[in-house]
Structure formats: structure tokens, C-alpha cells
Amino acid sequence: MTFKELEIVEPIMRALKHVGYTHPTPIQEQSIPILLQGKDLLGCAQTGTGKTAAFAIPILQHLFLDKQKSNDNNRRIKALVVAPTRELAIQIGDSFTEYGRFTGIRNTVIFGGVKQGAQTQALGRGVDILIATPGRLLDLMGQGFISLSNVQFSVLDEADRMLDMGFIHDIRKIIDKLPDNRQSLFFSATMPPDIVKLSRQMIKGNPEKVTVKPEQVTAELVQQSVYYVSKQDKPRLLIHLLNTMSIESALVFSRTKHGANKIVKKLTQAGINADAIHGNKSQGARQRALGEFKSGKTRVLVATDIAARGIDVDKLSHVINFDLPNISETYVHRIGRTGRALESGIALSFCSMDERPFLRDIQKLIGQTVTLVAVHPFIEDGVEKEPTKKAKKPQRSKPWQQKSYGKGRSGNKQGNRNRQSQKRG
């Protein structure tokens, strides 16, 4: 099937052609017809499956056609997209801009961590589509800069991540402010009970359901390998691979912010152009780092999981798990950075002895064994060694232990009397 067969209007088709899109991904093929009919949608899909286009294209088409019919030039917020992180919100905004470049539909993105002046100015000029993180959205609503009374389309993206980050109460407050008469879209990579409960609060009635199993799609398309290596040798192995393999660009995942900074320092000392992106970096620094990585100026970008949400880099050659995640689904999210929209990629993972249980859980989730690289300069023995038992130090005998004080109860009493006399002496 092609996008043309989905009956997309000409201005959006022209934009899709401009970015090289001809055939929809599975979630786009299933979701777009449902959403063009105005039905609510509950989608189980993760970033990397083409989900953003699946909801952005129908929203843009609805707004474009409504604008043509009514000839209304007043710009009020008619569509709201809520995303968990700044990076993902910005990425979604970029996608709306790309797909809607010939429609005249205007969007803006708001998020915390920066001064609100530029954002409130954009809101003052009027927007049709607002993409927002929960905290800044509620803040500007409280200040009177944002009204949701005209929203016709609402999207909650990556709902499970919202819950992980503690946004559940903020999301409920936002939902309560939305008009009842709207089209609701709800996306989550997983559907635990809390997510199902939240979806029922957001979507009344019986929504259409679309499910794309990302772990199967991603695992099949990404070439995966694992290296057994000790923690202290991980930096040397990373430098070795970057110097000896054909790695055009690499997104390296660190478990912690401090760890990400240390990795960048080691790579820089080795003459490898690298930068880090994590929560302790200012928004300006994060955007610069991401922009230089996308442009190819920076070869290696080291990121934590939260900061990496929404990073979408065309033709990213490698994802490297410097630290294996302790949550198996996180591994799937990570390697999906290089398996974007049904394209292939390469994922390399470093596994120290204490991370072996994580690897077993990951392999169980994806239903396949990750290829072990058995030969490399820093290999760690795959057999866990028994701890060496320390020999007991010989104890120096006390004076009363060097003599025999007799046997039995009477002997013990005599020994006690002798010991007491020695102490008194």
C-alpha cells in the first residue's frame, strides 16, 4: 500500500514526497484510515515504528479541510499533543512542520527547563497545534496563556513513560480541562493496568485498537552483538571498536549522567569527537549536542535513557549499550534508535559479569540469542569464578592454653582458678 491509496490530501502528499515517504509503516497503514474517519484510537506502539506520522498526518488533514470549509483565519489551539520529554516534544513538532509545510497549519512546542518568554510569544501569535510537556503546559495554563476549550484532537504519547516519570497527576489534570467533544488518541509501548485505567479516563466509549509489537520488528531488523568485558575495560573496548570498525555515527547509552560525562572525557582524550546529552545539561546545550550529532559534526553522542527519548537520526549506523539496562523493554527502545521505520541497523552491547542476568532477561523478551563476540582484546572470562577462601591466620596461644589443667569439670574449675591467679599476679 502507498500513502496515495490512504486518500491523503495533495498538500500533505507533496510534503511526504519531499521527505521521501512513499509506503506507510504498519502502524500508519492501520491508524490513518481510522483517524481520518474521526474515531478514537488506543495504540500500543513505541517510538521508532512511525507512530508520529500515524497521528500527525490525519490531524493535519482534518485541520486543513476544516480551514478550507470555514475560511476561519483565527488561530486557536485545536490539537494538543502531550509528550513526556523535551526531546520527544521537539521531535514531534519537527514532524508536524515537515508534514504540514504546504497546509498553512501552524504548530509550536512548549517545554520546561528554559525561559518561557519565546514560548508565550509564539502562543500569543496564535497556533493550531500545540505540542507540550505536562509541567510547562499546566504552568502556562495556570498563568492564563493557554486555553484548551477549542481542542478538537488530543494525543497522549508514550503514556507508560509518563507514569514512569511521575506525571500521572499532571495528565489527569490536563484531561479534565479538555472538551468532551473531541477525538482522543492514546499511545503507549506497554499496557499495564495503570495505563489501561488512564486510557479509559481519556477515551470514553469503545475506541479502535491498533497494536504493533515493536520488540519483534526491531529485533528482526537490528543486527545485535554482545561483548563480555569487565567494567574497567569498557572504555578501552569502546575506543577500540570506534577506531577499528566502520562506525559512521554511534549513539552510546550510559546508565547514569555522571557515567555519560566520564565516557565523553575518555573518548575526547582518545581523539574521538563526542558529546553527552542528559538531564543535567541545559536545554540549549542538549539541542546543540543533538544538532551537531545529526549534522555529522559529532561522531558519538552519549545519552541516558530519559534524554534519548525522541532522538531520531536518519541513517544512524550504530547503537552501543555501554551499560546494559536492567529493564528489558528499555533495551528494545534503545536499539530501535538504529532500526527506524523498518530500516536495518547495528546494536553492540557491553556486558560485565554482574550484568549477565540482564542479558538473559533481554534475550527472553526478544525471543532470540544475541550473538556473542568470542574474540576481542578485552574479553572477560564467561565462567564465574568461585571466590578464593582466605586462609585463617594462626592464633597465638594464651599462657593458660599452653598447659594442661586437668580433664572434666574439676579440671576446668582448677583451670579457671589458675587463670584468675595469673591475672591477679
Q: Work out the burial of residue 346: count CB atoms within 10 Å of its CB; fewer than 13 is exposed, 13-18 middle, 19 or more buried.
A: buried
What is the β-pairing status of strands 222-228 and 183-188?
Answer: unpaired
The reported pLDDT for the residue numbered 399 is 45
- Rounded to whole angstroms, how far apart are CA atoms 261 and 247? 21
pLDDT of 5: 92
Residue type, 277: I
Do 24 and 153 have their domain in common?
yes
- The answer to whether residues 183 and 248 belong to one domain is no
Show the domain range for 321. Answer: 216-372
Residues 207 and 222 in one domain: no
What pLDDT score does 285 carry? 86
Q: What's the confidence (pLDDT) of residue 340?
A: 57
CATH number at residue 176: 3.40.50.300
Residue 159 lies in a domain: yes
Burial (CB < 10 A; 0-12, 13-18, 19+), residue 134, is buried
| 398 falls within a domain | no
> What pLDDT sits at residue 339?
59
In the prediction, which pLDDT does 406 show?
43
**Residue where a domain terminates, one of 327, 349, 372:** 372
CB 212 within 8 A of CB 195: no
Same domain, 71 and 201: yes
Residues 150, 234: one domain? no
Say if 133 falls within a structural domain.
Answer: yes
For the whole prediction, is pTM greater than 0.75?
A: no
Inter-residue contact 377 to 227 (CB < 8 Å): no
Residues belonging to the chain: 425
Q: Are residues 43 and 181 in the same domain?
A: yes
* Statement to judge: residues 13 and 161 lie in one domain: yes
91 and 140 share one domain: yes
Residue 95 falls within a domain, yes or no?
Answer: yes
CB atoms near residue 209 (< 10 Å): 15
Q: Are residues 172 and 155 in the same domain?
A: yes
Same domain for 20 and 118? Answer: yes
Whole-angstrom distance between the N-terminal and C-terminal Cα of the chain? 103
The total of structural domains in the chain comes to 2
Domain boundary residue, one of 192, 212, 232: 212
Domain contains 383: no
Is residue 329 in some structural domain? Answer: yes
* Average pLDDT by stretches of 10, the chain with 425 residues: 91 91 90 96 80 96 91 86 89 93 96 93 96 96 96 94 86 95 91 85 90 59 92 96 93 92 96 89 83 91 75 80 86 77 79 93 88 90 42 46 42 47 43
Q: Are residues 259 and 299 in the same domain?
A: yes
Give domain status of residue 413, yes or no: no
pLDDT score, position 400 = 44
Is 181 a member of any domain? yes
Q: Are residues 151 and 252 in the same domain?
A: no
**Strand ranges (DSSP E) for 189-249?**
208-211, 222-228
